[in-house]
């Protein structure tokens, strides 16, 4: 009996996909840069079915690629040729919100937006948010330790995890869902799965911490002289605004693309060297304290603010539409890096030159999450120089004491450069963990640790 028939008998005929045209949508990543040919897509409905699928693949010695919303930007959710693609999207049940513990249980395939709707209806909120909310899944967010726009207030996804259920490579199931805030009994396996990018197990359920729902919000878009000025403004705003929740940086090159591809008027009468978008959220209206704090900022070139929902959305669009606008221009080489904020201004200034040395005709678009020194480096018109650009940019990041992956993960695209951000001893420990939990190398081969292949 073929592996496909065995998998069909686990998930039902409708959820084992072999038709080439339907497979195609799962085989290509969001950016269009990465693809691979899966032998089939399997869509299990619950943890038990996931465990059975993993066991059958292990028995057949066939590798698995795990995919949630397929919004990842480092090629981690595209299959290696000939592997089985396990889609988590049917694991989409959200449990009741526990408004005393401030927690909720969500299936790995629940989208961020779907979970936000549920917890907001119960008067609470989730601490992580970003533009892929309608498609990305909470399982994918945990697997990549996604960051986003609220990290300065709430931390990244890891900080929101109170527990998980996961299926290991041999089909055994780890369940740690009590959500106890105090529970020190050995290794933190939930924490280990977070950021493991599908290489150690398939996350099927999560116990998530929630935060207060702060409906009173105010957003300001500030025009500043450059990165150093943006950091000065951030320092001052942080000091006077405990309600500060987001501080996002972008530049004229990115704004031009957003204006060209989106249906938006320019935010200011003339362009400026850099833009800082900030948001405050509180129980009572934060608009006045935000305006007061902005009025105290020295050297602002211009500013526009909004406290009503539609105005806030419009200001956020200038920042959130960067990724789509860049893709509308072409397939970018996309690098997500972080440097210490004390080095950020110098790094930003040097980066276009670093890229041009590797790819003389490239266009570099920079934007990012200012408080974490997290810069999104998107390089257009230079896909044929992708390796040279990656090498040049990531080497310069390492020189600054930064990270080659701030929030998107290592995936396939940066696996060869992991050593720039992790010591030989750290990589050896990662390999030992991988060997212990997935000795045959069947889970997401080629992701994170590039040379671990199915044996
Ligand atoms: P996928 O893309 O399907 O998978 C990502 C990785 O996780 C793969 O390695 C996959 O194998 C693994 N994986 C997925 N589900 C599971 C599971 N249940 N168990 C084990 N492994 C699994 N990221 C940020 O951090 N911050 C941002 O601000 C941000 N903004 C974005 C904006 C846009 C417009 C887009 C397109 C992407 C953005 N991303 C951002 C990247 C992406 O949305 C996140 O990495 C997200 O967490 C991926 O979720 P996903 O469900 O789409 O995962
Ligand atoms: C964001 O912050 C995402 O908008 C996407 O992390 C970054 O497209 C990118 O490079
Ligand atoms: Zn980001």
Collapse the DSSP code of 351 into the 3-class scheme (helix H, G, I; strand E, B; otherwise coil) and give the result. helix
- The ligand with the least distance to the CA atom of 141 is 1
The reply to whether ligand 1 has any atom less than 6 angstroms from the CB of 444 is yes
Measured from the CA of 148, which atom of ligand 2 is nearest? 2
Please count the CA atoms within 13 angstroms of the CA of 224 that sit on its side-chain side.
Answer: 25
Please count the CA atoms within 13 angstroms of the CA of 26 that sit on its side-chain side.
Answer: 29
The enclosing H or E element of 125 equals strand 124-125
Pocket test for ligand 2, best of 69, 146, 322 (most atoms within 8 A of CB): 322
Say what the pLDDT of residue 54 is: 98
Q: How far is the CA of 276 from the centre of ligand 2 (A)?
A: 15
Measured CA angle at 225 (ends 268, 400), to 5 deg: 130
Structure tokens belonging to residue 242? 């405990």
What is the spatial distance between Cα 151 and Cα 385, in angstroms, rounded to a whole number? 32
The ligand 2 site (C-beta within 6 Å) comprises 130-131, 322-323, 334, 336, 376, 378
Please spell the DSSP secondary structure of 159-213, one letter per residue.
GGEEEEEEE-TTS-EEEE----SS---S--HHHHHTT-TTSS-EEEEEEEE-EE-
Measured from the CA of 201, which atom of ligand 1 is nearest? 20
What is the spatial distance between Cα 292 and Cα 305, in angstroms, rounded to a whole number? 12
What is the spatial distance between Cα 71 and Cα 388, in angstroms, rounded to a whole number? 25
Q: How far is the CA of 71 from the centre of ligand 2 (A)?
A: 11
- The ligand with the least distance to the CA atom of 323 is 2
Instruction: Spell out the residues 6+ positions from residue 34 whose beta carbon is closer than 8 angstroms to its own.
Output: 28, 75, 78, 412, 413
- The ligand with the least distance to the CA atom of 374 is 3
What is the spatial distance between Cα 226 and Cα 167, in angstroms, rounded to a whole number? 47
Per-residue pLDDT for the chain (455 aa), expressed as one digit of tens each? Answer: 999 999 999 999 999 999 999 999 999 999 999 999 999 999 999 999 999 999 999 999 999 999 999 999 999 999 999 999 999 999 999 999 999 999 999 999 999 999 999 999 999 999 999 999 999 999 999 999 999 999 999 999 999 999 999 999 999 999 999 999 999 999 999 999 999 999 999 999 999 999 999 999 999 999 999 999 999 999 999 999 999 999 999 999 999 999 999 989 999 999 999 999 999 999 999 999 999 999 999 999 999 999 899 999 999 999 999 999 999 999 999 999 999 999 999 999 999 999 999 999 999 999 999 999 999 999 999 999 999 999 999 999 999 999 999 999 999 999 999 999 999 999 999 999 999 999 999 999 999 997 777 77
Q: How far is the CA of 454 from the centre of ligand 3 (A)?
A: 32
Q: How far is the CA of 69 from the centre of ligand 1 (A)?
A: 7
What is the spatial distance between Cα 331 and Cα 329, in angstroms, rounded to a whole number? 7
What is the spatial distance between Cα 88 and Cα 202, in angstroms, rounded to a whole number? 9
Q: How far is the CA of 144 from the centre of ligand 1 (A)?
A: 6
The reply to whether ligand 1 has any atom less than 6 angstroms from the CB of 144 is yes
In eight-state DSSP terms, residue 55 is H
**341-358 and 227-240 helices, crossing angle to 10°:** 150
**For the chain, first and last CA: distance in Å?**
22
Structure tokens belonging to residue 171? 């089909």
Q: How far is the CA of 375 from the centre of ligand 2 (A)?
A: 9
Say what the pLDDT of residue 454 is: 75
Burial class (CB in 10 A: 0-12, 13-18, 19+), 245: buried
The reply to whether ligand 1 has any atom less than 6 angstroms from the CB of 150 is no
Please spell the DSSP secondary structure of 57-89, one letter per residue.
HHHHT--EEEESSS--SSSTTSPPTTPEEEE-T
| Residue recorded with tokens 């999207």 | 89
Say what the pLDDT of residue 30 is: 97
Collapse the DSSP code of 247 into the 3-class scheme (helix H, G, I; strand E, B; otherwise coil) and give the result. strand
Structure tokens belonging to residue 302? 């211009």
Measured from the CA of 197, which atom of ligand 1 is nearest? 9
What is the spatial distance between Cα 218 and Cα 62, in angstroms, rounded to a whole number? 51
C-alpha distance from residue 437 to each of 24, 56, 168, 412 (Å): 30, 17, 7, 20
Considering only CA atoms, which residue is closest to atom 6 of ligand 2? 148
Measured from the CA of 334, which atom of ligand 2 is nearest? 10
């Amino acid at each position: 009996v073929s592996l496909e028939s065995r998998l069909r008998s686990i998930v039902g005929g409708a959820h084992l996909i072999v038709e080439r045209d339907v497979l195609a949508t799962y085989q290509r990543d969001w950016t269009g840069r990465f693809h691979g040919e899966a032998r089939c897509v399997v869509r299990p409905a619950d943890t038990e079915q996931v465990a059975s699928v993993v066991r059958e693949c292990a028995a057949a010695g066939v590798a698995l690629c795990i995919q949630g919303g397929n919004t990842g930007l480092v090629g981690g959710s595209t299959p290696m040729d000939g592997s089985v693609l396990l889609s988590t999207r049917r694991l989409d049940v959200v449990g009741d919100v526990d408004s005393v513990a401030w927690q909720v249980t969500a299936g790995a395939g629940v989208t961020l937006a779907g979970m936000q709707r549920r917890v907001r209806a119960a008067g609470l909120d989730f601490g992580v948010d970003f533009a892929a909310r309608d498609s990305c899944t909470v399982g994918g967010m945990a697997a990549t330790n996604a960051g986003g726009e609220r990290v300065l207030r709430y931390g990244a996804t890891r900080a929101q995890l109170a527990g998980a259920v996961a299926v290991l490579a041999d089909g055994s199931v780890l369940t740690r869902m009590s959500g106890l805030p105090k529970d020190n009994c050995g290794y933190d396996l939930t924490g280990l799965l977070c950021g493991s990018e599908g290489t150690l197990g398939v996350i099927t359920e999560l116990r998530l911490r929630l935060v207060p729902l702060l409906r009173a919000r105010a957003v300001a878009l500030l025009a500043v002289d450059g990165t150093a000025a943006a950091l000065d403004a951030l320092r001052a705003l942080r000091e006077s605004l405990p309600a500060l929740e987001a501080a996002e940086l972008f530049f004229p090159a990115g704004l031009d693309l957003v204006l060209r591809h989106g249906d938006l008027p320019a935010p200011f009468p003339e362009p400026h060297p850099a833009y800082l978008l900030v948001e405050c959220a509180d129980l009572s209206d934060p608009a006045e304290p935000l305006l007061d704090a902005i009025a105290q900022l020295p050297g602002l070139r211009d500013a526009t603010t909004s406290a009503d929902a539609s105005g806030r959305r419009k200001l956020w669009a200038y920042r959130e539409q960067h990724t789509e606008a860049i893709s509308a221009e072409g397939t970018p080489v996309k690098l997500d890096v972080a440097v210490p904020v004390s080095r950020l201004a110098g790094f930003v200034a040097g980066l276009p030159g670093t890229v041009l040395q590797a790819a003389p005709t490239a266009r570099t678009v920079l934007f990012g999450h200012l408080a974490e020194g997290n810069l999104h480096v998107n390089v257009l018109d230079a896909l044929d120089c992708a390796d040279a650009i990656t090498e040049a940019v990531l080497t310069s990041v390492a020189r600054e004491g930064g990270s080659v992956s701030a929030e998107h993960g290592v995936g396939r695209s940066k696996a060869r450069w992991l050593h720039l951000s992790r010591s030989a001893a750290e990589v050896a420990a990662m390999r030992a963990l991988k060997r212990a939990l997935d000795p045959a190398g069947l889970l997401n081969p080629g992701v994170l640790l590039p040379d671990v292949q199915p044996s």
